[in-house]
Amino acid sequence: MTVITCIEDLRRLAQRRVPRMFYDYADSGSWTESTYRANEADFQALRLRQRVAVDMEDRSTAVRMVGQEVAMPVALAPTGLTGMQHADGEILAARAAEAFGVPFTLSTMSICSIEDVAAHTTRPFWFQLYVMRDRGFIGDLIDRAKAAHCSALMLTLDLQILGQRHKDLKNGLSAPPRLTLRNLLDMASKPRWSLGMLGTRRRGFGNIIGHVKGVDDLGSLGEWTARQFDPRLSWDDVAWIQQRWGGPLILKGILDVEDARLAAQTGAQALVVSNHGGRQLDGAPSAIAALPGIAEAVEGRIEVWMDGGIRSGQDVLKAWALGARGTLIGRPFLYGLGALGQAGVTRALEILHKELDLTMAFCGHRRLQTVGREVLWQA
Ligand X SMILES: Cc1cc2nc3c(=O)[nH]c(=O)nc-3n(C[C@H](O)[C@H](O)[C@H](O)COP(=O)(O)O)c2cc1C
Asked if the peptide bond before residue 176 counts as cis, ω within 30 degrees of 0, the response is yes
**What DSSP character marks residue 373?**
G
Count of alpha carbons within 13 angstroms of residue 330, beta-carbon side:
24
Q: What is the C-alpha separation between 261 and 268, in angstroms, rounded?
A: 12
Question: How big is the chain, counted in residues?
Answer: 379
Q: Which is nearer to ligand X, 27 or 186 (CB)?
A: 27
Which residues between 358 and 377 bind ligand X (CB under 6 A)?
none
**How far is the C-alpha of 376 from the C-alpha of 69, rounded, in Å?**
26
Interatomic CA distance for residues 239 and 241, integer angstroms: 6
For residue 66, CA distances in Å to 73, 75, 105, 313 come to 11, 12, 14, 21
- 279 known member of a binding site: yes
- Between 171 and 366, CB nearer to ligand X: 171
Site for ligand X in 72-91 (CB under 6 A): 77-80
Spell out, one character per residue from 240 to 259, where the chain touches ligand X: x when CB under 6 A holds, - when not. Answer: ------------x-------
Q: Are 135 and 181 in contact, with CB atoms under 8 Å apart? A: no
Site for ligand X in 318-337 (CB under 6 A): 328-331
Region near ligand X per CB under 6 A, out of 114-122, 226-234, 306-314, 361-369 = 306-314
Strand order of the β-sheet with 152-156 is 74-76, 327-329, 303-307, 270-273, 249-254, 152-156, 126-129, 105-106
To the query of whether residue 120 is one of the catalytic residues in this protein, the response is no
| Nearest distance from C-beta of residue 175 to ligand X, angstroms | 12
User: Per-residue string for binding with ligand X, 266-305, x by CB under 6 A?
Assistant: --------x-xx-x--------------------------
Name the catalytic one among 149, 166, 211, 276. 276
Q: Using the minimum distance from each CB to ligand X, give the nearer residue, 39 or 342.
A: 39
Determine the residue with CB nearest ligand X: 330
Q: Which residues does the annotation place in the binding site?
A: 25, 78-80, 107, 128, 130, 156, 165, 252, 274, 276, 279, 307-311, 330-331
**Binding site residues, ligand X, CB under 6 A:** 25-26, 39, 77-80, 107, 109, 128, 156, 252, 274, 276-277, 279, 307-310, 328-331
